[in-house]
Amino acid sequence: MKINGNTIKPGMVLQVNGGLWVVTKASHVKPGKGGAFANVEAKNLETGNKLNERFRSEDKVERVTLEQRDYSYLYDGGDTLVFMNDENYEQIELQKDWVGDDRIPYLQEGMKVVIESHEERPIGLSLPDQVTLEVVETEPTVKGQTASSSYKPAIANNGVRIMIPPYMGVGEKIVVDTTTGEYVRRAD
């Protein structure tokens, strides 16, 4: 779908120079002399490169709509991770380096994820905001210590190092933010 350059907003996905770009910033300028234009800052969805482009209001830009589908994480297949489409039970394999080393430890068997694709090609993967983990290693609990601003290091059952409150011990279930990797609260 073609749109005018003056209607570009942050969050839109555009096709420019054969690549897919997500708009991170867009400022619209209307100078006293000449036509209005938009200064657009965008990030390439595949390579991560940045683009600074100026679009005049009469310029036509291709806006892309990404398909979002729910998938379930099945298993680790060595160099790939296997996911299953929840609607038609088709399985897809995604390269581990594409998913990202920072997100792989949070994947749990059966976990629901959202995979964005463009023309049947995966572009992005979204994990749930929070995940429940179990503390498998930490310093012993100090009796009488309450929730203070000091945290102690711990290792969760997925191998990730997390700072937890000092009163928590091994075997406790905790909720962790998947984007920051920080402790959120004790699991119910």
| Beta-strand runs (E) in the chain | 2-4, 13-16, 19-29, 37-44, 50-56, 60-64, 67-76, 80-85, 91-95, 112-118, 121-126, 130-138, 152-156, 161-164, 173-177, 183-186
Structure confidence by residue, pLDDT tens digits, 111-161 = 999 888 888 888 778 888 888 888 888 887 666 655 556 888 899 988 889
Q: How far apart are the first and last CA of the chain?
A: 46
The one-digit pLDDT tens for each residue of the chain (188 residues) are 788 877 888 878 888 887 888 888 888 888 888 888 888 888 887 777 888 888 888 888 888 888 888 999 999 888 889 999 988 988 888 888 878 788 888 888 889 998 888 888 887 788 888 888 888 888 876 666 555 568 888 999 888 899 988 888 888 899 998 888 888 888 88
The domains located in the chain, with CATH, are 2-64 (2.30.30.30), 67-126 (2.40.50.140), 130-186 (2.40.50.140)
